[in-house]
Structure 1
Amino acid sequence: MQKKYLKKNFLFKIINNDIKKNKIKKINTRFPPEPNGFLHIGHAKSIYLNFNIAKTYHGKCNLRFDDTNPKDEKKKFVHAIKKDIQWLGYLKNKKIFYASEYFKKMYKYAIKLIKKNLAYVDQLSKKEIKKYRGTLKKKGINSPYRNRSIKKNLTLFKKMKNRKFKSGEMCLRAKINMKSNNIVMRDPVLYRIKNISHYRTKKKWCIYPTYDFSQCLSDAIEKITYSLCSLEFLDNKELYTWILNNLNIKNQPKQYEFSRLNLEYTVLSKRKLKDLVKKKIVEGWNDPRMPTLSGLKRRGYTPQSIRNFCKKIGISKKNHLIELKLLEHCVRKDLNKISHRFMAVINPIKIIITNLCKNYNEEIIVNNHPLYSEHGKHKIYFNKTIYIDESDFKEKPTPTYKRLTINKEIRLRHAYIIKAIKIKKNFQGKIEKIFCTYDKNTLNKNPKNRKVTGVIHWISKKNSIPAKFRLFQPIFTIKNPNNEKKFLKYINKNSIKTKNGFIEKDLLNHKKIKFLQFEREGYFLVDKAETYKNKKITFNKTISLKDKKNFMKT
């Protein structure tokens, strides 16, 4: 961790001050996801913060699954979360924690609150509880069951545990203050009945603690020193402290809040992401358009690029919208170093070299990276029929057009200068073939007294293989869909396009190469699932080579 980062981050300043005043000796943090979905880029910010704080101060960071709501929690989400955190570069050979491991202890703590007359069993429905709680302008009203005796509450709570009631029929609430200015403190629910099998504890329990009750107790049990959470939990801080104080827990964790990540053209709410999956707007949690870590990984983002992004956005107490181009800059910078350069033609048009014989086949050796020789070399082939991108030829060019046109020369990347002499169109008037000549004396060198205005990429037809290319745009058409109640109205219907083109055949001889830059096209990664499904090698486009001013026109 750089000293510059230590000074800028207000949380590090707090910890440094606590250490200086001898308030704390060992630093323990935690990252507590609920296993009801996949992690997204917003979670990466919290992971980066918590694990790096622990690393900086030679402490530890617990991965603890907040699995206290069995309705949507599944083993597959647990596995996905572990895998994503390991991919980010954390959680190496570390013990995994689960809130469900503490159910027995939490039940005893609940009994303790009842015995202190600080909790009671309520029979109001969920709707009635909300109504009695009031609003920001209207004070709450006491439940008619609030003044039950301690003995009665203990009996009813035991019956709740022993499956004597239906789901939602009873709940345990803290007895605090229904007139509090903080709505969270108006007798919050601590336990609820859910007659659902838990993915870990199966049917052992039918009552489950709420997030507010389980989080502070799990932190205390694990001796967490700093409970770091996003600003949305600021109002819950008072309850966090109230529970720990009234249970006489010593060495209490300290809760501090930081701004959550908001990213342009996307939503970072698990509920909203779940809607995208359920409504089949995307292919699943790991769709390359999704801001989930598995989606970003599948698209071609690297762990280093995500970590660099988290470092650049920093930690503050103020929420603001982060520009998507910052995330893209981070991955582009990382991929530029590690990606091997090959050529692919995504929108192919055929070129016939008229002054080459049919069987001519010239082998040319090229570098896999212009700067790093350790990336090795590969072969390309030049012969009579090649493909170029259709955008690299215009029959009637504009004055500023600098690519191939009739009687104009252009250089083929790594090869020769060619000149278009005529074209052939089909019945619909579309160009089918372009006939060119080549200058045999221009292999990787410019001719004297002739100005060549551009370089284009190409592929030999004989030494190419067909491939699919999946090109992406943001899922949403507006910068901040999070602000919209009906956010699904702003889905970008053109967020994915599939093209059929060609790649260099020699790429098959370099199977260990993972990250690719197709010259002039962008950075790409093989999509193994789509390749298997299509029975044709399929690439996901990670990012363009340069920043795009308008995402909707990429």
Structure 2
Amino acid sequence: MKPKNNNNFINKIVKHSILKNPNRVIKTRFPPEPNGYLHIGHAKSICLNNNIANRYKGICNLRFDDTNPRNESTKYTLAIKKDIKWLGFNWYKQPTYTSNYFDQLYQYAIQLIKNKIAYVDELNANDIKKHRGTFKRPGKNSPFRNRTVEENLVLFKKMKNGIFPEGSMCLRAKIDMASPYIILRDPVLYRIIYSKHHHTKNKWCIYPMYDFAHCIVDALEGITHSLCTLEFLDNRKLYEWILKKLNLKKTPPKQYEFSKLNLEYTILSKRKIQKLIDHKLVSGWNDPRLHTLSGLRKKGYTKNSIKTFCKKIGITKQQNLIELSLLESCIRKDLNDSSPRRMAIINPIKLIITNIDHNYIEHLDVPNHPCKKDMGRRKILFSKEIYIEREDFCKKPITGYKGLILGKKVRLKYAYTIRANKIIKNKNNDILCILCTCYLNTKKKNIPLKNTYNIIHWLSKKNSTKTQFKLFDVLFTSKNPEKEKNIIQLYNPNSCIIKIGYTESVVAKEETQYIYQFERVGYFLKLKKKNRHNILVFHRIVSLKNKHRKPIQ
């Protein structure tokens, strides 16, 4: 039962509660609203709740807090289950739903009415907001606040039976309109919504507010530690008020808050993600540029990299903006050991070796991984015509440049030293190819140090397969788009660039391997399906090195 390393403040709280009550079973829960896909911020919560339960031999529930049928659907519950299982976690017995408790919640609402601490209000949403006041100005009572118990019971029943139009009435708690905490200024408990519910169908037309239902269901399910983000700090006061007035538990669930995940250049708000989808700026919830779990999975991220990232950022109360490079370092580390190496040219430029014959082919024996002999070796071809990256060629010397320069030498990885002699152009002055000389006595590794040159990767034309590369970059031009009002204006039009280049021919034949490190380029995921032109498609997962965070131009 002793925690392993990650001794954050919540671990200490749970450990202390066990010392006070050794026989109490620790129960946590992950309670997503089924109104969108899970994102990497949810992964932080999933890891925390499951790890607490596992560490202390407790239970972790999956509960769908489905109190708003207008935005929720079965497709989201299925997607959420899939993401949780993909992360390697499971839930206790069967998932539960807040909607399973609608009958009980309705009775609890009636109990509050009978106890004279809830009333049916006819103010509309705008008027309720005006009456609520501000941090500097207290609220004022609704003119319907002092209705009799009998009148409130009749009206609430009529609300349930669909007598009134949507938005015309709601049930509010009667607490204190002068409270310094706005959450306690007669919050709404129930509202009318005429939408089919994904779980209860058309049984109900009134639905409990999240804040009313959440704490009650926690108590009914015996949750011992209700873990949530700091945005719910003030809500705790309302939860405690509800549980106390309903006398639900002698030991009600205790809420503990931690900082939510804020990630550079990233939107995690489900409402804002939906806005991007509606504007067709992303293809859907699983777009590889989004940091939803399905988007990261589609891009090529592994579950281990995400769990490692969640462990590294830790659990604290301090709000900060996490650098995207930390997440990228986690996937690099996870893929480095497991990914075989291959050659790929994304922006090809052709070299012609003038001092070897057209029919010349040499088989070079190279490792699949520089540090793992058990991953074996493969043959690559060297021939008269080869491709290199366009950025690896420069006409004139530039300080610090490490590629091929006209009139200078460079070494081809695993092969020979070559010298660029002449540029061949077409009528439009575009480079068709570069004529080079190959030094055939330079293949062996024991070349004197003074004769070594910068190394570039390459690909023989006779050992290449045409390939489409999708190069993903940050989705926003702002470092912290969550703070900006108009995220559409911050959209990076170069967040996905498509290139046509080449990969080693063997890649097309390897059916079981889907992630590679393309040497000097990055880690890439091979899609199972080819594009409409029957060409291989690769997603770039991450580059080999951290780069200055400036969107691709």
TM-score class normalised by the smaller sequence = over 0.9
Q: How does 1:98-497 map to 2 (within 5 A)?
A: 98-250=97-249, 251-448=251-448, 451-497=451-497
Q: Distance in 2 between matches of 1:171 and 1:93?
A: 35
Q: Distance in 2 between matches of 1:88 and 1:363?
A: 42
* Equivalent in the alignment of 1:547: 546
- Contact 1:418–1:438 (Cα < 8 Å) also in 2: yes
Q: Distance in 2 between matches of 1:437 and 1:91?
A: 60
Query: Which structure 1 segments of 5+ residues have no match?
Result: none
Please provide the CA RMSD for this pair. Answer: 1.9
- 1:365 CA displacement: 3.0
Q: Give secondary structure in 2 for the equivalent of 1:365.
A: strand
Q: Distance in 2 between matches of 1:181 and 1:109?
A: 26
Q: Give secondary structure in 2 for the equivalent of 1:47.
A: helix
Q: Give secondary structure in 2 for the equivalent of 1:304.
A: helix
Q: Give secondary structure in 2 for the equivalent of 1:499.
A: strand
Q: Which moved more, 1:479-488 or 1:36-45?
A: 479-488
Q: Distance in 2 between matches of 1:483 and 1:235?
A: 21
Q: Distance in 1 between matches of 2:273 and 2:174?
A: 35
- Contact 2:2–2:55 (Cα < 8 Å) also in 1: no
Number of corresponding residues? 552
For 2:347, the aligned partner's letter is N
Q: Which moved more, 1:402-411 or 1:289-298?
A: 402-411
- 1:17 CA displacement: 1.2
Provide, for residues 387-421 of structure 1, a one-character-per-residue CA deviation record: whole Å limited to 9, x for no partner.
11111122222254332233433222222222223
- Contact 2:61–2:92 (Cα < 8 Å) also in 1: no
Q: Distance in 1 between matches of 2:337 and 2:87?
A: 18
* Equivalent in the alignment of 1:28: 27
Query: Which structure 2 segments of 5+ residues have no match?
Result: none
For 1:68, the aligned partner's letter is T
CA 391–77 in structure 1, closer or farther in 2 if over 3 Å, else same: same
Q: Distance in 2 between matches of 1:390 and 1:550?
A: 22
Q: How does 1:524-535 map to 2 (within 5 A)?
A: 524-528=524-528, 531-533=530-532, 535=534
- 1:553 CA displacement: 5.1
Provide, for residues 211-242 of structure 1, a one-character-per-residue CA deviation record: whole Å limited to 9, x for no partner.
00111111112111111111111111011111
- Contact 2:417–2:442 (Cα < 8 Å) also in 1: yes
* Equivalent in the alignment of 2:14: 15
- Contact 1:133–1:183 (Cα < 8 Å) also in 2: yes
- Contact 1:18–1:24 (Cα < 8 Å) also in 2: no
- 1:450 CA displacement: 5.4
For 1:503, the aligned partner's letter is T
For 2:408, the aligned partner's letter is K
For 1:489, the aligned partner's letter is Q
- Contact 2:495–2:552 (Cα < 8 Å) also in 1: no
Q: Give secondary structure in 2 for the equivalent of 1:378.
A: strand
CA 243–276 in structure 1, closer or farther in 2 if over 3 Å, else same: same
CA 541–6 in structure 1, closer or farther in 2 if over 3 Å, else same: closer
For 1:342, the aligned partner's letter is R
Q: Distance in 2 between matches of 1:132 and 1:399?
A: 67
* Equivalent in the alignment of 2:519: 519
Q: Distance in 2 between matches of 1:436 and 1:236?
A: 71
- Contact 2:265–2:479 (Cα < 8 Å) also in 1: yes
CA 25–92 in structure 1, closer or farther in 2 if over 3 Å, else same: closer
- Contact 2:457–2:520 (Cα < 8 Å) also in 1: yes
For 1:425, the aligned partner's letter is K
TM-score (norm. length: structure 1): 0.95
Q: Distance in 2 between matches of 1:238 and 1:24?
A: 28
- Contact 2:62–2:91 (Cα < 8 Å) also in 1: no
Q: Give secondary structure in 1 for the equivalent of 2:86.
A: helix
CA 271–24 in structure 1, closer or farther in 2 if over 3 Å, else same: farther
CA 346–487 in structure 1, closer or farther in 2 if over 3 Å, else same: same
For 1:120, the aligned partner's letter is Y
- 1:359 CA displacement: 2.3
- 1:23 CA displacement: 7.3
Q: Distance in 2 between matches of 1:419 and 1:434?
A: 10
Q: Distance in 1 between matches of 2:78 and 2:376?
A: 36
Q: Give secondary structure in 2 for the equivalent of 1:73.
A: coil
Q: Which moved more, 1:343-352 or 1:15-24?
A: 15-24
